[in-house]
């Protein structure tokens, strides 16, 4: 049982990148299991901020092997840009990163299809990141995908052209203008970059390492409320973001899973469209956005902000089998006089503790108000030193969820973290 999973319990951007980076020294392997360049995982150390999209968040630790699993969809152009920006030379990075030959590729035409579908939807658009995620996963499940292992085939260019023709035929149905050439050039440069890396049956590698007792952390992307099966469908992403996704996205047995860490912000945010029961449209919402710098790491879009939603979080805990909770961004609420927390939903005047199937249901959050904390907590490193009101907030969450909060993040930097036994 030496594979742990860390994943988001809300609508993404819970701080996964920061925490994976901070936990990396106790692991030998960090493995991404789903999603693609829709993710934006931010890490900060030595006063420098890095945003990772495809590359696992253990990449800055030289001794760690990072794996991009079969469940991920890779855009070679984004991959190259990310590698070029990281800092260490490519010859060093090829030692730190292994890629599954079964990971599906995002083609330039997938990105165009994503944009065409979104514009065709008008007001009911998903608010996708426009990175081609939906169309790439669609081709995967309809058995039309190109995979990372295909790039070594002699007739790769021919295969690419066949896929492109299919996409161009679909695009004829849309009144949508696009420029393919620009995307294509950088995509093929990305393919050249990918060819420098080890692209293999990483399921063997991961199982072999687990068998040798190496410690592995599976890094989730997006969040449980964006899961294609259990999120607020259709306003979701196209992969299984939940713990079960780590098994299918890496090729590992559930028997190997140890801890499942659920990470949540002390409040909630959502970027893109879809229901958000505790969303705040008032000054408190804009305070959370401004103080918490809540703007998308991938698209720069302002994030919608609201109070912590316990019915949604309890659902996420249940679906994932969370064993430990990690809380981030409590420092953003320092100075708030009172803090609200949604404990129940009211739908059509009736208390309801389940997430409704119908996303058009009007959910009225039932709030409990707790006292805020005045003190700045960014320099705190011991749990006992946290303000009493914040400890009360954490205890309230633990009592409601029956899961211990064992880590509290108090700022974006790697060092701004409190571990609690
Ligand atoms: P991810 O997608 O889950 O990795 O999260 P993002 O990187 O998209 O968004 C989290 C944002 O919050 C990033 O800008 C982080 O640098 C920042 N962050 C992470 N943890 C904390 C924290 O505890 N406090 C504050 N103030 N910022 C944090
Ligand atoms: P990380 O890993 C927040 C959202 C998009 C949109 C929906 C579908 O950084 O937490 P997609 O491009 O996947 O088809 O978009 O999902 N979304 C995210 N929101 N964080 C993310 O990733 C997200 N990845 C996708 O905004 O609402
Ligand atoms: Mg993010």
Report how far residue 206's alpha carbon sits from residue 56's, in angstroms, rounded to the nearest whole number: 14
Q: Of all protein residues, whose CA lies closest to atom 5 belonging to ligand 2?
A: 128
Q: What is the pLDDT of residues 26-63, one digit of tens each?
A: 999 999 999 999 999 999 999 999 999 999 999 999 99
Decide: 131 and 36 in contact? Cβ < 8 Å: yes
Question: Which residue's entry shows tokens 């001794």?
Answer: 63
Decide: 250 and 67 in contact? Cβ < 8 Å: yes
CB of residue 222 inside a 6 A radius of ligand 2: yes
- Testing ligand 1's pocket by substitution, the residue of 412, 414, 418 carrying the most ligand atoms inside 8 A of its CB is 412
Query: Residue 300 has what pLDDT?
Result: 87
Report how far residue 410's alpha carbon sits from residue 179's, in angstroms, rounded to the nearest whole number: 44
Which two three-digit tokens encode residue 10? 């809300």
Query: Residue 249 has what pLDDT?
Result: 98
Q: What ligand 2 atom has the least distance to the C-alpha of 128?
A: 15
Which two three-digit tokens encode residue 31? 């493995």
44 CA → ligand 3 middle, Å: 13
Decide: 43 and 19 in contact? Cβ < 8 Å: no
Query: Residue 1 has what pLDDT?
Result: 65
CB of residue 98 inside a 6 A radius of ligand 2: no
Residue-by-residue DSSP string for 286-320: HHHHHHTT-B-TTT-PBPEEE-EEHHHHHHHHHHH
Decide: 400 and 310 in contact? Cβ < 8 Å: yes
Decide: 25 and 35 in contact? Cβ < 8 Å: no
82 CA → ligand 2 middle, Å: 18
Q: Of all protein residues, whose CA lies closest to atom 27 belonging to ligand 1?
A: 412
Decide: 326 and 19 in contact? Cβ < 8 Å: yes
Nearest ligand to residue 14 Cα: 1
74 bridge partner residues: 105
State whether residue 44 is helix, strand or coil. strand
Report how far residue 299's alpha carbon sits from residue 131's, in angstroms, rounded to the nearest whole number: 10
Query: Residue 139 has what pLDDT?
Result: 98
Pairing mode, if any, of strands 405-409 and 324-328? parallel
**Preceding peptide of 234 cis, ω within 30°:** yes
State whether residue 361 is helix, strand or coil. coil
Q: What ligand 2 atom has the least distance to the C-alpha of 41?
A: 9
Report how far residue 371's alpha carbon sits from residue 336's, in angstroms, rounded to the nearest whole number: 8
Pairing mode, if any, of strands 417-419 and 405-409? antiparallel
Residues with C-beta atoms within 5 A of ion ligand 3: 13, 40, 297
166 CA → ligand 3 middle, Å: 32
Query: Residue 233 has what pLDDT?
Result: 95
Q: How far, in whole angstroms, is CA 364 from its chain's centroid?
A: 27
Report how far residue 53's alpha carbon sits from residue 51's, in angstroms, rounded to the nearest whole number: 7
CB of residue 17 inside a 6 A radius of ligand 2: no
3-state DSSP percent of the chain in helix, strand and coil, to 5? 35, 25, 40
Report how far residue 136's alpha carbon sits from residue 45's, in angstroms, rounded to the nearest whole number: 33
- Testing ligand 1's pocket by substitution, the residue of 15, 39, 47, 300 carrying the most ligand atoms inside 8 A of its CB is 15
CB under 6 Å to ligand 1: residues?
A: 8, 12-18, 39-42, 44, 293, 297, 328-329, 331-332, 409-412
Name the residues annotated as catalytic: 13, 41
Decide: 217 and 223 in contact? Cβ < 8 Å: no
260 bridge partner residues: 5
For the chain, give the mean pLDDT.
Answer: 96
CA end-to-end span of the chain, whole Å? 20
Nearest ligand to residue 17 Cα: 1
CB of residue 32 inside a 6 A radius of ligand 2: no
Report how far residue 265's alpha carbon sits from residue 327's, in angstroms, rounded to the nearest whole number: 6
Tens of pLDDT along the chain (421 residues) come to 689 999 999 999 999 999 999 999 999 999 999 999 999 999 999 999 999 999 999 999 999 999 999 999 999 999 999 999 998 999 999 999 999 999 999 999 999 999 999 999 988 899 999 999 999 999 999 999 999 999 999 999 999 999 999 999 999 999 999 999 989 999 999 999 999 999 999 999 999 999 999 999 999 999 999 999 999 999 999 999 999 999 999 999 999 999 999 999 999 999 999 999 999 999 999 999 999 999 987 788 899 999 999 999 999 999 999 999 999 999 999 999 999 999 999 999 999 989 999 888 899 999 999 999 989 999 999 999 999 999 999 999 999 999 999 999 999 999 999 999 7
- Testing ligand 1's pocket by substitution, the residue of 42, 59, 60 carrying the most ligand atoms inside 8 A of its CB is 42
Which two three-digit tokens encode residue 165? 């023709």
CB of residue 225 inside a 6 A radius of ligand 2: no
Decide: 11 and 268 in contact? Cβ < 8 Å: yes
55 CA → ligand 3 middle, Å: 13
352 bridge partner residues: 345
């Amino acid at each position: 049982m030496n594979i742990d999973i860390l994943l988001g319990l809300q609508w993404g951007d819970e701080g996964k990148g920061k925490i994976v980076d901070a936990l990396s020294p106790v692991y030998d392997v960090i493995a991404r299991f789903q999603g693609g360049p829709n993710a934006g995982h931010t890490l900060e150390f030595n006063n420098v901020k890095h945003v990772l999209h495809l590359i696992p968040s253990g990449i800055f630790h030289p001794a760690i092997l990072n794996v991009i699993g079969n469940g991920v969809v890779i855009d070679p152009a984004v991959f190259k840009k990310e590698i070029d920006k990281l800092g260490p030379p490519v010859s060093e990075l090829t030692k730190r990163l292994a890629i599954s030959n079964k990971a599906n590729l995002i083609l330039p035409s997938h990105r165009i299809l994503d944009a065409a579908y979104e514009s065709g939807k008008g007001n009911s658009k998903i608010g996708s990141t426009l990175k081609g995620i939906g169309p790439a996963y669609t081709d995967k499940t309809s058995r039309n995908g190109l995979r990372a292992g295909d790039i070594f085939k002699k007739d790769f260019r021919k295969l690419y052209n066949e896929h492109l023709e299919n996409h161009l035929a679909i695009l004829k149905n849309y009144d949508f203008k696009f420029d393919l050439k620009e995307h294509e050039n950088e995509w093929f440069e990305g393919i050249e970059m990918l060819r420098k890396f080890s692209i293999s049956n990483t399921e063997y590698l991961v199982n072999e390492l687990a068998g040798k007792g190496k410690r592995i952390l599976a890094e989730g992307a997006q969040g449980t409320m964006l899961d294609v099966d259990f999120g607020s469908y259709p306003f979701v992403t196209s992969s299984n973001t939940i713990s079960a996704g780590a098994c299918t996205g890496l090729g590992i047995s559930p028997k190997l899973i140890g801890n499942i860490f659920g990470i949540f912000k002390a409040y909630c945010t959502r970027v893109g469209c879809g229901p958000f029961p505790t969303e705040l449209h008032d000054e408190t919402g804009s305070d959370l956005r401004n103080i918490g710098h809540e703007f998308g790491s991938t698209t720069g879009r302002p994030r919608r902000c609201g109070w912590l939603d316990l019915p949604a979080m309890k659902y996420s805990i249940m679906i994932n089998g969370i064993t430990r909770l990690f809380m981030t961004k409590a420092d953003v609420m320092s100075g708030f006089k009172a803090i609200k927390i949604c404990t129940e939903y009211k739908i059509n005047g009736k208390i309801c503790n389940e997430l409704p199937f119908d996303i058009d249901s009007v959910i009225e959050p039932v709030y409990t108000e707790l006292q805020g904390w005045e003190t700045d907590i960014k320099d705190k490193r011991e749990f006992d030193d946290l303000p009493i009101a914040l400890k009360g907030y954490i205890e309230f969450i633990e009592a409601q969820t029956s899961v211990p909060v064992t880590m509290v993040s108090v700022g974006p930097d790697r060092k701004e973290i409190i571990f609690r036994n």
